[in-house]
A and B are shown apart, each in its own frame.
Chain A
Amino acid sequence: AQSVTQLDSQVPVFEEAPVELRCNYSSSVSVYLFWYVQYPNQGLQLLLKYLSGSTLVKGINGFEAEFNKSQTSFHLRKPSVHISDTAEYFCAVSGASGGYQKVTFGTGTKLQVIP
């Protein structure tokens, strides 16, 4: 079984400042890691995912995340946020074996960009 911890429920940040949203996971098997964004009253949109290879993953909207196996972390970063980045961000993990795997979500972090 896997679990995901997002330590920060809310992160306020000024526009054009950098931001890091933290995510730690636990698993007894190899994992795939994901970050999703959810705008109000909408479904989830995939920002980026780590499956294998380079530990630094670049996603849409200027976001990137780094997989750190020793620290079991997958923190999401953006060097300069915009007002439009205000949303809720979910970190998620699934097993990395073949076929579909159940995805376990963290509790989410609300990013509030302040003008």
Chain B
Amino acid sequence: GAVVSQHPSRVICKSGTSVKIECRSLDFQATTMFWYRQFPKQSLMLMATSNEGSKATYEQGVEKDKFLINHASLTLSTLTVTSAHPEDSSFYICSAYKAGGASTDTQYFGPGTRLTVL
């Protein structure tokens, strides 16, 4: 199977600081990665679609200046939460799209990053 990692798994920061979360596809190239946010006891909400070498596409209501996404290589996408505030505390999950024909097109999810902003 395909493996996606996230780093860090857990981060606690002070209000006003910026936090960078990395998402890596370890054994395949991912031209497209996705960033999700999951609030407690809720489902995953897609924040943005990250395409290698181009600007990310943000979902409605997601502030692009607040959540900076960079997809500089085929195996790495980063999400930077700028000037984080307590309301940004959440579980952030990335996924990587592995293209391989109709029977294998699927997304592989990372283990998630728990962000707590004090």
Contacts and interface: CB of A to CB of B under 8 A. Distances in A.
Interface residues of A, number: 24
Contacts, number: 53
Given A52-B102, A107-B43, A108-B43, A100 B97 contact: yes
Interface stretch (A15-23, A37-45, A61-69, A73-81): A37-45
B32 interface: yes
A101 to B, nearest CB: 8
B98 to A, nearest CB: 9
B93 A43 contact: yes
B49 interface: yes
Given A49-B106, A105-B44, A42 B111 contact: yes
B107 interface: yes
Interface string A46-87: 100101100000000000000000000000000000000000
B93 A44 contact: yes
